[in-house]
Amino acid sequence: MYTIKEIQDFVAKQIGVNTNEVTPDCEIYKDLACYGDDFHDFIEAYSTTFNVEMRKYLWYFHTPEEGNSSIGALFFRAPNERVSHIPVTPLLLQEFANKGYWDVSYPEHKLPKRRYDLLINKLILALFIVYLFYMCTR
């Protein structure tokens, strides 16, 4: 059985904070400012280190995306903006490490099949590249 101290030490080391900043009920995202790609790396290291099966894990309930301030985001919300936030704490991580699997009961929700915000960004980038190419060949 993993202790809360083992989890707190792991969290502190992975995120790069002092161990005394990691309380059992602090939130990894909001209290320790770990989000986006850093949060994903953290969760991956957690699942590997503590051998936690993550099949049911849904990132968008726990962390925002990194740098999603784009033109597409003006028109379509990112997945994490479409659901209620569920905090991840060392206590939760300890519970799941001891169970051996991620055990959050997510509320029923529906996300679009496509990320239209990202599609708009790609379309704008493609149009910009075509414009640059056109201007360079004139």
To the nearest whole number, what is the mean pLDDT of the chain?
Answer: 89
The predicted pLDDT at position 55 comes to 96
Helix (H) or strand (E) holding 39: helix 36-49
SS3 at position 114: coil
Segment 63-111, tens digit of pLDDT: 988 766 666 556 666 767 778 999 999 999 999 999 999 999 999 988 7
pLDDT tens track for 41-60? 999 999 999 999 999 999 98
Is a pLDDT exceeding 80 seen at residue 23? Answer: yes
Q: Residue 130's domain is classified under what CATH number?
A: 1.10.1200.10
Q: Which domain holds residue 58?
A: 4-136
**What's the structural domain count of the chain?**
1
Please list, residue by residue across 63-88, b when 16 or more beta carbons sit within 10 angstroms of its beta carbon and e when fewer do: bbbeebeeebbeebebbbeebeeeeb
Instruction: State residue 68's pLDDT score.
Output: 60
pTM higher than the cut 0.85: no
